[in-house]
Chains A and B, each alone.
Chain A
Amino acid sequence: MSNIKNDKILEVKNLSVSFFTEAGEIKAVRNISFDIKRNETLAIVGESGSGKSVTSMAIMQLLPDKITVYGEKSSVLFEGQEMLHAKESFLSTQRGNRVAMIFQEPMTSLNPYLTIGLQIIEVLVLHKNMSKSNAKKRTIELLELVGIKDAAQRIKTYPHEFSGGQLQRIMIAMALANEPDLLIADEPTTALDVTIQAEVLDLLKSLQEKMHMSILFITHDLGVAKHFCDNVCVMKEGEIVESGKIDDVFTAPKHAYTKQLLDSIPRGMKTDLSSANDDNLVLGEDIWVRYPIKTNMFGRVTKTFDAVKGVSIQIKPGQTIGIVGESGSGKSTLGRALVQLIDAEGTIEFDGNNINGMSVDNLRPLRADMQIVFQDPYGSLSPRLTVGEIVSESLYVHRPEMNKKQRLKRVEEVLREVEIDPHLAINRYPHEFSGGQRQRIAIARAIILEPKFILLDEPTSALDRSVQVTVIELLRKIQKKYSISYLFISHDLAVVKAMSDFVLVMKDGVIVEQGTATEIFENPQTEYCRTLIDAAFELTEIAS
């Protein structure tokens, strides 16, 4: 933070935002005030639904006019000028020019039908009145500045030809094209892999120094906030519960909620329940998964994409194997091949049976012992079935001898097991539950048959940190009670560390490193693994 000018660039006073929908009034932001000085970086942290994104959209005046109502005393002054209810003609001279914004999802935030060059050029032409050819030159400079190679060639390409990390760099280039005074970054790294996250944050930091701008940084990730920001506001249910210098707030939090947030980073390690003598429950040898990417005129596959290349894996009863890797490393594909949801080559044994290529009918009795919990608790529970129906469904297939009363009793048992009140839940539908509750329901569905093995495919990635911790504790408790084996797939190393006995690190379809959790995290052997760990724990080190 430099002290050239310490005047306030943004002053938010008594901001209240409500939405009027068919369901009634929703108070998203309740009377919050804060300000940002020049060159300062302010973090707004909070969990989903805390109102932090609404705050940023209110500053930019991007909320839908018709349903949004601001409080009477609300005011947002940007460089002394009121933004709330400002005329569209005034706003368009500020947006993209003096105040710019980058978003959480770089993949959908750029227009897929326009070249990236044009999308940057248009901001320069609009606000700086540049000629097209000058704007093009400047665009190439900007893209080089954010680290896009061969910028002169690539301005002619479309967003789908870039990776998520590159797209976020392009978004940054676009936002900073006119050297704004304030950049609003709404979860800019949340959708990116950890290694890419760190790179993008470093880039933002260096550009901030170069361009002398202020940043309003919105995130749910305390590690990122700590790493990146000067000051912080902690938001909960539309209110700021605590604010101040980031070090003060994080080392000596005053408000209970801040403490709870800081405590919710998963820690510790699992104690091994298996013994070396046990037979393997799951055994995979030389597993290959190939997807056709090119076929000739007669439909014969001429080129394949190999998602998993000759991977071997063993899981013993009661053991948790963690698989980590960035997106596209083949970790989910491997998991799905092991439970025969997709075709694979190689040997796959489950509980002593060779299941690879087994017919659906023969496989069905074994399915009772292998269950899955997916990443997205919103998408993987049928919205048209009640919780009771979802949880009990597999009983009809695998326990046909049970009568209605017995089924109901069993459903109530498992729901209690996952700490959901059965009387409240059984007749309700998934959308009436929060993300964490839905994931508990998904776990109840998976354990109702008391399986020997559960594939956990990023089960906590869609959840807020504080909810994550409770779900992980639940999974540990269940494992202890039933001695279930887990295959735990995640890109989140802190969670994997807390859950696993043995860790496999995957990259481009192969295992690059494996060992016990202690070996991997304390003494990583490969460069790739070190980068992953550095990137992850640099951001979360504040927890310890």
Chain B
Amino acid sequence: MLKFIIVRFLSSIPTLLLLIIVSFVLMHLAPGGPFTSEKELPPEVLANINAKYGLDKSWPEQLWNYITSIIFHFDFGPSFKYKDISVNDIIAQGFPITMTYGLWSFFVATTVGIALGITAAVKHNTWIDYFAVGVSIGAQVLPNFIMAPILIIIFTLWLDLLPGGGWNNGAWQNIILPVIALSTSFMASIARLTRGSMLEVLNSNFIRTAKAKGLPARTIIFRHAIKPALLPIMSYLGPAFVGMISGSVVIDIYFSTGGMGQFFVEAALSRDYSLLMGVTILFGVLTIIFSAVVDILYAWLDPKIKL
């Protein structure tokens, strides 16, 4: 088990390095730079600035300096755009916000999705099933960038129940709308997957055996059916989490929540190399950690996989 975990994490190091190199190269390949603007700077000023940020060095040298400062000093460098603020500062400010509503969204999407899916499967071909399927198909065609304005119109402009933006130190009123907007389409996917998987399990031979043993329906569902039905869902949770993190870009823009997504977009538009790299790496690391956690959980739950 421990060996599996160690190998899993060690093997993600090359992935991460590749991610850094590819995003670094892609960014530098694009024309323009952080200090290109409509009003041209005098060449000597530009040269000074470039020297200050180390942009006058060759690419490999820049890349090497960047990677070593991350590894040895855990320093993602200064922001090119925001004067006197380091990337570390920006991440420290935005990351907790993203994680707060990201994790809430993940929690809501999985619990509601799984509950809906299981209920639909157990009540197969009844109005409950049709209702659940209808809801999830409806929810699936509402991605976060559609959900967000709709929610703001209904709950802020019409009903005046919840604030339409801002973070307010994470007050619950401010969290609700971003979480609903971000989680709805994932909740729908999880519900549909769970329903399909549960139906398959309920039609399997070992459930027939369980019925032949005289077990009550509750025991059959909770002891015999849920675990095998949820295992396939596990492999969807990794990509779903990543989807939610990248969906935070949209949420930050619509709700002005001040999370990482906002910086991501701004950094990309203004060529803030170090900030963009920092955010990319952070999202990359999150993705890798989360898929590793899912893999390990999966292996732990499935008796056929021995670690």
**Contact across chains for B214 and A112 when beta carbons are under 8 A apart:** no
**Contact across chains for A100 and B209 when beta carbons are under 8 A apart:** no
Interface: B208 (CB within 8 A)? yes
Interface: B210 (CB within 8 A)? yes
**Contact across chains for A109 and B208 when beta carbons are under 8 A apart:** yes
**Contact across chains for B205 and A105 when beta carbons are under 8 A apart:** yes
The smallest beta-carbon distance between B128 and chain A, in angstroms, is: 15
**Contact across chains for B228 and A93 when beta carbons are under 8 A apart:** no
B2 to chain A: which residues have CB within 8 Å?
A: none
Give Cα A100 to B215, complex, Å. Answer: 12
**Contact across chains for B125 and A122 when beta carbons are under 8 A apart:** no
Give Cα A66 to B126, complex, Å. Answer: 11
**Contact across chains for B223 and A96 when beta carbons are under 8 A apart:** no
A96 to chain B: which residues have CB within 8 Å?
A: 212-215
Contact of B214 among A66, A92, A160, A171 (CB under 8 A): A92
The smallest beta-carbon distance between B129 and chain A, in angstroms, is: 12
Contact of B303 among A91, A113, A123 (CB under 8 A): A113
Interface: A60 (CB within 8 A)? yes
Interface: B211 (CB within 8 A)? yes
* Residues 75 to 100 of chain A near chain B (Cβ within 8 Å): 88, 91-97, 100
Give Cα A100 to B304, complex, Å. Answer: 28
With known contacts A158-B304, A297-B7, A122–B215 Cβ distance under 8 A: yes
The smallest beta-carbon distance between A162 and chain B, in angstroms, is: 12
Nearest chain B residue, comparing its CB with the CB of A104: B205
Q: How many residues of B contact A (CB 8 A)?
A: 25
The smallest beta-carbon distance between A91 and chain B, in angstroms, is: 7
* Residues 201 to 231 of chain B near chain A (Cβ within 8 Å): 204-206, 208-217, 219, 223-224, 227-228, 231
**Contact across chains for B206 and A92 when beta carbons are under 8 A apart:** no
Q: Most chain-A Cβ atoms within 10 A of its Cβ — which of B7, B206, B211, B303?
A: B206
* Residues 89 to 129 of chain A near chain B (Cβ within 8 Å): 91-97, 100-101, 103, 105, 108-114, 122-123, 126-127
Contact of A126 among B204, B213, B228, B302 (CB under 8 A): B213
Nearest chain A residue, comparing its CB with the CB of B204: A108
**Contact across chains for A109 and B209 when beta carbons are under 8 A apart:** yes
A122 to chain B: which residues have CB within 8 Å?
A: 213, 215, 219, 223
Contact of A160 among B125, B204, B216, B304 (CB under 8 A): B304
* Residues 314 to 372 of chain A near chain B (Cβ within 8 Å): none
Interface: A256 (CB within 8 A)? no
Give Cα A25 to B228, complex, Å. Answer: 33
The smallest beta-carbon distance between A49 and chain B, in angstroms, is: 19
The smallest beta-carbon distance between B234 and chain A, in angstroms, is: 13
Give Cα A122 to B219, complex, Å. Answer: 10
A113 to chain B: which residues have CB within 8 Å?
A: 227-228, 231, 301-303
Nearest chain B residue, comparing its CB with the CB of A115: B303
Give Cα A318 to B12, complex, Å. Answer: 58
**Contact across chains for A108 and B205 when beta carbons are under 8 A apart:** yes
**Contact across chains for B212 and A111 when beta carbons are under 8 A apart:** no
B7 to chain A: which residues have CB within 8 Å?
A: 297
Give Cα A91 to B301, complex, Å. Answer: 33
Contact of B215 among A109, A126, A160 (CB under 8 A): A126
The smallest beta-carbon distance between B300 and chain A, in angstroms, is: 12
Interface: A424 (CB within 8 A)? no
The smallest beta-carbon distance between B211 and chain A, in angstroms, is: 6
Nearest chain A residue, comparing its CB with the CB of B224: A111
Majority secondary structure, B binding face: helix
The smallest beta-carbon distance between A128 and chain B, in angstroms, is: 12
Interface: A174 (CB within 8 A)? yes
Nearest chain A residue, comparing its CB with the CB of B210: A111
**Contact across chains for B209 and A114 when beta carbons are under 8 A apart:** no
Interface: A4 (CB within 8 A)? no
Contact of B212 among A66, A100, A112 (CB under 8 A): A100
The smallest beta-carbon distance between B299 and chain A, in angstroms, is: 13
Interface: A252 (CB within 8 A)? no
**Contact across chains for A160 and B303 when beta carbons are under 8 A apart:** yes
A100 to chain B: which residues have CB within 8 Å?
A: 212-213
Give Cα A220 to B125, complex, Å. Answer: 35
Contact of A110 among B206, B217, B223 (CB under 8 A): B206
The smallest beta-carbon distance between B230 and chain A, in angstroms, is: 10
**Contact across chains for B228 and A110 when beta carbons are under 8 A apart:** no
A276 to chain B: which residues have CB within 8 Å?
A: none
**Contact across chains for B215 and A101 when beta carbons are under 8 A apart:** no
Contact of A95 among B206, B211, B228, B301 (CB under 8 A): B211
Give Cα A126 to B214, complex, Å. Answer: 8
The smallest beta-carbon distance between A66 and chain B, in angstroms, is: 7
Interface flags, A23-67, vs B, CB<8A=1, else 0:
000000000000000000000000000000000000010100010
* Residues 148 to 173 of chain B near chain A (Cβ within 8 Å): none
A112 to chain B: which residues have CB within 8 Å?
A: 206, 228, 303-304
The smallest beta-carbon distance between B177 and chain A, in angstroms, is: 39
Give Cα A397 to B51, complex, Å. Answer: 67
**Contact across chains for A94 and B303 when beta carbons are under 8 A apart:** no
Give Cα A66 to B303, complex, Å. Answer: 34
**Contact across chains for A95 and B213 when beta carbons are under 8 A apart:** yes
The smallest beta-carbon distance between A481 and chain B, in angstroms, is: 43
**Contact across chains for B212 and A62 when beta carbons are under 8 A apart:** yes
With known contacts A62-B211, A122-B219, A103–B303 Cβ distance under 8 A: no
A171 to chain B: which residues have CB within 8 Å?
A: 209
Give Cα A107 to B215, complex, Å. Answer: 20
B302 to chain A: which residues have CB within 8 Å?
A: 113
B210 to chain A: which residues have CB within 8 Å?
A: 111
Interface flags, B274-307, vs A, CB<8A=1, else 0:
0000000000000000000000000001111000
**Contact across chains for A123 and B213 when beta carbons are under 8 A apart:** yes
Nearest chain A residue, comparing its CB with the CB of B302: A113
A123 to chain B: which residues have CB within 8 Å?
A: 213-214
Give Cα A88 to B223, complex, Å. Answer: 19
A66 to chain B: which residues have CB within 8 Å?
A: 125
The smallest beta-carbon distance between B222 and chain A, in angstroms, is: 12
**Contact across chains for B206 and A108 when beta carbons are under 8 A apart:** yes
**Contact across chains for B205 and A92 when beta carbons are under 8 A apart:** no
The smallest beta-carbon distance between B302 and chain A, in angstroms, is: 8
The smallest beta-carbon distance between A122 and chain B, in angstroms, is: 7
Q: Most chain-B Cβ atoms within 10 A of its Cβ — which of A93, A113, A126, A171?
A: A113
Give Cα A4 to B91, complex, Å. Answer: 84
18 contacts between A and B (CB under 8 A): A62-B208, A62-B212, A91-B214, A93-B214, A95-B211, A95-B213, A95-B214, A96-B212, A101-B209, A101-B212, A109-B206, A109-B209, A113-B231, A113-B301, A113-B303, A114-B223, A174-B213, A297-B7
**In the complex, the 4 A-B pairs of residues with the closest C-beta atoms, listed nearest first:** A96-B213, A95-B214, A96-B214, A108-B205
Using CB atoms and an 8 Å cutoff, list the residues of chain A in contact with chain B.
Answer: 60, 62, 66, 88, 91-97, 100-101, 103, 105, 108-114, 122-123, 126-127, 158, 160, 171, 174, 297
Using CB atoms and an 8 Å cutoff, list the residues of chain B in contact with chain A.
Answer: 7, 125, 204-206, 208-217, 219, 223-224, 227-228, 231, 301-304
- Apart from A112-B304, A114-B223, A297-B7, list 16 A-B contacts with CB within 8 A: A92-B215, A94-B214, A95-B212, A100-B213, A103-B205, A109-B205, A109-B208, A110-B206, A113-B302, A123-B214, A126-B213, A126-B219, A158-B303, A158-B304, A160-B303, A160-B304
